[in-house]
Structure 1
Amino acid sequence: MNLPLWLRRLHRRGAALSLLPVLLAGLAVHAPARAEAELALKPCRLPGFPTELQCGVLKRALDPAQPQGRQIALQVAVVPALARNKLPDPVVFLAGGPGQSAIELLPTLAGRMGRLNQRRDLVFVDQRGTGKSASLACRDERYLPLSKQLDREAMLQELQQCRAELQKLPHGDLRFYSTWIASQDLDAVRRALGVAQWNVIGGSYGTRAGLDYLRQFPGAVRRAVLDGLAPPDGVLPLSLSQDGYEALQTLLNECAAEPGCARAFPELRAQWERLLASLPRELSLRHPLTGKSETVRLQAEDLVMRLRSPLYVPSLRSALPAAIAQAAQGNFDALLGVASGMSGGRGGQLSTGMHFSVICSEDYPRLATRDAATLSGPAAFYARVCRDWPRGEVPAAFYEMPKAQSPVLLLSGGVDPATAPRHGERVLQALGPLARHELVPGAGHGVMGLPCMRDTLARFIEAKTDEQALALKTDCAARMPLPPAFVPPNPELPAAAARPTAEKRP
């Protein structure tokens, strides 16, 4: 699951409605299909992708209960199959977040799915609220001053202002951006394309979208691959806290057990605990994107949150012991640099309004039953935001995961700080005998991008029969090791020689 950058910073203390009656919600799910809306595909090009695509727009009702009411435009992009005689079952990708644009990710993902693209179209749909599909984007928080990003009250005000601006838009009724409505949009795209069945690939939050699509439209799915499970019956703000904490503890334990790391950083856990105990305090830090120095008041919770983002990626994770050791000696630049390693990149910015519209509708009702005094980290922040955020009615069936009716391959990274393997095991039990769960111990958040797993994914979808798909060996990355901790040539030198971080104690 991906989070807005400022929320990763809030958690790394660890990434994303007038109520509709339940009866109407149920009717919307099961109502007979109307005549299909038009989806005329035309040649187009996208920045960063070398070949011509087919793009189009599908009109959908903002409120499913009012099909003739306010309409929104779903953006669709298709990478045509290379073969002249293509197969009839395309591949559709469901993006993460909540809030990522699938089409912005297309240049990266289409390259990784080149084998599948030989004989199958690749379909990318910007989910409502993302990309150019009735966007609910807020100001790009990556460029906000650090002092604002690390100030929860300031970020609450930023979100309140964004929410007020979004609600003025023609499509700004924030009640109608839930996952279950987006599933109906997705199936409307399938029908408009004239596809009987397709293969669904989802990553992170896209697994929640994929599981709901399987629930509502099981007959439309030939095969499904779900990577980094965020099931609908989980409470994301709570699981993020638990998974992030466990991932950090695993890192500290690994360093103590690995001879090279233990020699270089023999007191890493003690340093980490002393570092937390030394906060809050004022520090001069350099903004990772603008390069400007700022004086900020760093809280212990803010420090924990900064560690969550690099835990996503094993190569960044390996630099954390050295960064923690340097921060314990007063130099926070390395920690800030490693924590910002995922700040840029194509598709990195989330649609914040869509992110909260989804979580406030689907997760907050169960979060709100908890004693507010017991909530901390992202759970406490989400609770405050969602208290005033418009929420849509979500059918009770949304939280269920019926038995799979077609083969489903579930993927989990062993050190994933956002969607831990335990979620994949729970989904496996719910989906039943047509599901398989592959755990890659040395992977973080996202498994299908690994070179050998791309081939595994393709073979799973290419298999002629369900039996052949389920019998495939999927453990090609099972022995892939985690990168060892990065140890500077002289571990003492970086901290001793680095420019001292200016510090102002309260």
Structure 2
Amino acid sequence: MARPHVRRLRTGSAAAATGILVTGLLAAPAGAQEETPGGASGTVARTVGDARYEPGPCPKTAEPIEALKGARCGTLTVPENRAEPDGRQITLGVAIVPAAAAEPKPDPIVWLAGGPGDDAVGEVKMAIDGGLNRDRDVIFMSQRGTYSADPDALCPDIDEFNARVVGLVYDAPSTERLHVEATKACRDKLVGKGIDLSAYNDTESAADYDDLRKALGIKQWNLYGISYGTHLALTYMRLHPEGLRSVGLDGILPPSKGGSASTWSSFKQGTDGLFKACADQPACNKRYPNLPATFEKLVNDLEAEPVTTTVTLPGSDKPVKVVLDGGTLVNWLTSATHTAEAVPRSLDELANGNPQRIAQQWAGWRTNPKGIGVTSHGLVYGVFCSEWTPYESEEQALQGGQKAYPSFPRSVQAQAPLLTFLRPDCDVWDIPPAARSIRDVTRSDIPTLALSGAFDAQTGADNGPYVARTLNRATVVTIPYEPHVVFATSKCAQAITTSFFDTPTAPNTACVKDLKPPEFEIAP
């Protein structure tokens, strides 16, 4: 999932959030065709209420995606703001990847992307590589404002600023000024295009997907949300439960907990899990004893005296300046759990005066040209600034950092991982708060799979049991030794997911017991 100015809460790659089955047919709206028994043809135009589906070319993607060659595609047109149905219309790209089976099951799966701000169509390869279309069609729709939507709410200048940050003190006041200036410039650009920034949020997105189901004439379907997509899925379940057969949540981000304090808690859970795995292996524990203390000392030392170095990245001879302070180290480790095997060695080298491994990885992530111009910052801030910051005070946010890491300097505690300068960003984004109900817990009898990774430092594994308290037919599974978004990295998680869609109330989770810890790198 993307966070403000950082694109890490996403697909599970550090390089690059239950119940009575509702099966009743909805009454067909005036002018609409009757719902089909199942499946998703995507081949006929259909108007339902204020929404219209039109078959057409597949949505644009930043890179070619082989699986789209056989997809049925089109667009969904909806009001930008449903409070003004006669106002501006927006168009969302739709791609339906057919099932691999000759006789598909009648209820397709809808993929809800991470971010906020990532385009679901850009995540087709991950879903299909994981076998999600084994015997069901899988539907991908670009959320409003994302890469293949019209209008998009992209701001490449923010992405370019993110690349420059590697050479700045991460949480310095001077960096904050530049950071907020970039956010304000993005806002002004989008407003200048006529975009209603207040309409880019979970409530409108959930309604978009409900309109898509009706416009495609589908009786019922299944959801699979990753990272921020779980945030949207839980909202969708609460607002539009009709037509949902089952819901998979992977890397869970509950709307009721969204904010900086929860982010700190998730970070500590994931990193503590990784550090414990090293401590449990005699060779790792002997070579890298007491990693939590090493990490905390590094954060304090680097915040007091940042280290500056240069690195050369693959494909370029140009040296890149990298500044490592305490805040940088926290944000690096949030994503570095995806390369868990290397983390103890990297921290040890830094503690012994060699910052190159961490600096190289940090700069590689932040300056990757594939990250330029693909994130909808309009949707990022639309969600966070209307649904999160209005319902968490600055003091509550700070307390989250203080509780998780009382030894950290206040400057680090004040900036939650991946949410650096969120509050001043939202001040200049200047949109109204969402209705307080956006923070309501989701209560449902829809069968739900709550998947987490034990090394997930972005959406902690305790979010699974948390959401299951009010999802009466939930199956909670934590995949050991895995980072954020387990579907992307774990064959076991993929097997559990496909089993869940076969039998939503009794998925086969037996593979979990056979999983082994990573073999950590041991330096000479």
Task: Please indicate the TM-score interval, normalised by the length of the shorter structure.
Answer: 0.7 to 0.9
Kindly tell me: are residues 437 and 130 of structure 1, through their superposed partners in 2, closer, same or farther at Cα, counting changes over 3 Å?
Answer: same
2:97–2:138 Cα contact (<8 Å) kept:
yes
Alpha carbons of structure 1 residues 272 and 462: separation in structure 2 relative to 1, 3 Å: closer
Equivalent residue letter for 2:283: G
Q: Distance in 1 between matches of 2:396 and 2:462?
A: 25
Name the residue aligned to 1:285: 310
Quote how far apart the aligned CAs of 1:175 are.
Answer: 0.6
Cα distance change, pair 371–413 in 1 and its aligned pair in 2 (3 A):
closer
Provide the C-alpha distance between the structure 1 equivalents of 2:300 and 2:484, rounded to a whole number of angstroms: 29
1:174-323 superposed matches below 5 A: 174-266=197-289, 268-279=291-302, 280-286=305-311, 288=313, 292-295=318-321, 297-311=323-337, 313=338, 316-323=339-346
Using the alignment, how far apart are the partners of 2:450 and 2:193 within structure 1?
38
1:377 and 2:415 are equivalent in the alignment:
yes
In structure 1, distance between residues paired with 2:293 and 2:102 = 62
Residue 95 of structure 1 contacts residue 205 of structure 1 at CA under 8 Å; is this kept in 2? yes
In 2, the alpha carbon distance for the partners of 1:369 and 1:6 equals 20
Q: How much has 1:481 moved relative to structure 2?
A: 2.2
Alignment of 1:453-468 (within 5 A): 453-463=493-503
Instruction: Tell whether the 8 Å contact from 1:207 to 1:228 is kept in structure 2 after alignment.
Output: yes
8 Å contact from structure 2 (residues 131, 494) kept in 1: yes
Q: 1:474 aligns with which of 504, 509, 513?
A: 509
Shift of 1:249: 3.6
1:427 maps to 2:462: no
CA distance in 1, matches of 2:397, 2:244: 40
Q: Quick check: 2:309–2:355 contact (8 Å CA) kept in 1? A: no
Equivalent residue number for residue 143 of structure 2: 127
**Residues 346 and 413 of structure 1, relative CA distance in 2, 3 Å threshold:** farther
Candidates 443, 461, 467, aligned match of 1:403: 443
Distance in structure 2 (CA, Å) of the matches to 1:303 and 1:5 = 16
- Measured in 1, the distance between the counterparts of 2:415 and 2:138 equals 38
Q: What code does the residue aligned with 2:383 have? A: V
1:284-333 superposed Cα distances (whole Å, 9 cap, x missing partner): 2226576633445532222222211112x2xx122011111111222211
1:49 aligns with 2:66: yes
Residue 3 of structure 2 corresponds to 3
Alpha-carbon displacement from aligned partner over 1:120-153 (angstroms, at most 9, x marks no partner): 2210011112122132111234543622583333
Q: 1:352 aligned to 2:392?
A: no
**Are the equivalent residues in 2 in contact too, given 1:36–1:192 (CA < 8 A)?**
no
- Mapped partners of 2:111, 2:6: distance in 1: 26
Of 242-251 and 301-310, more deviation after overlay is shown by 242-251
Other-structure match for 1:487: 522
Query: What's the secondary structure of 2:359's corresponding residue?
Result: helix
What residue identity is the alignment partner of 1:125? M
TM-score, L = length of structure 2: 0.79
Change (3 A) 1:426 1:453: same
AA matched with 1:485:
F
Q: Is this contact kept in 2: 1:104–1:347, CA < 8 A? A: no
Which amino acid in 2 is paired with 1:130? T
Say whether the 8 Å CA contact 2:56–2:73 is kept in structure 1.
yes
Q: Given the superposition, is the C-alpha separation of residues 423 and 186 from structure 1 closer, same or farther in structure 2, using an over 3 Å criterion? A: same
Q: How big is each residue's C-alpha offset from its partner over 1:152-171, in whole Å with a ceiling of 9 and x where there is no partner?
A: 3322222221221121113x
CA-CA distance at 1:270 after TM superposition = 5.0
CA contact (8 A) 2:79 2:90 kept: yes
C-alpha contact 2:341 2:519 (8 A) present in aligned 1: yes
Instruction: Find the aligned partners of 1:269 and 1:445 in 2 and give their Cα distance.
Output: 20
Q: Does 2:366 match 1:327?
A: no
Q: How big is each residue's C-alpha offset from its partner over 1:314-355, in whole Å with a ceiling of 9 and x where there is no partner?
A: xx1220111111112222110123446766598895322211
What are the within-5 Å matches in structure 2 for residues 53-64 of structure 1? 53-64=71-82
RMSD between aligned residues: 2.9
**Aligned partner of residue 309 in structure 1, secondary structure:** helix
Task: State the alpha-carbon separation in 1 of the partners of residues 217 and 129 from structure 2.
Answer: 25
Shift of 1:373: 6.7
SS of alignment partner, residue 388 of structure 1: helix
1:57-104 CA-partner distances (Å, limit 9, x unpaired)? 111111111111011111111112345654331111000111111001
Give the Cα–Cα distance (whole angstroms) in 2 for the partners of residues 187 and 152 of structure 1: 39
* One-letter code aligned to 2:306: R
CA 1:204–1:37 in 2, change beyond 3 Å: closer, same or farther?
same
Which shifted more, 264-273 or 156-165?
264-273
Matched residues in 1 for 2:179 and 2:324: separation?
Answer: 15
Change in 2 beyond 3 A, CA 1:356/1:415? same
CA contact (8 A) 1:357 1:390 kept: no
In the alignment, is residue 438 of structure 1 matched against residue 477 of structure 2? yes
Shift of 1:385: 1.0
Give the counterpart letter for 2:335 in structure 1: S
The one-letter amino acid paired with 1:48 is: I
CA distance 1:380–1:123, change in 2 (3 Å): closer
Q: Residue 452 of structure 2 aligns with which residue?
A: 412
Q: TM-score, normalised by structure 1?
A: 0.82
Q: Secondary structure at the match of 1:470?
A: coil
Amino acid in structure 2 at the alignment position of 1:103:
V
Q: Is the Cα contact below 8 Å between 2:309 and 2:359 reproduced in 1? A: no
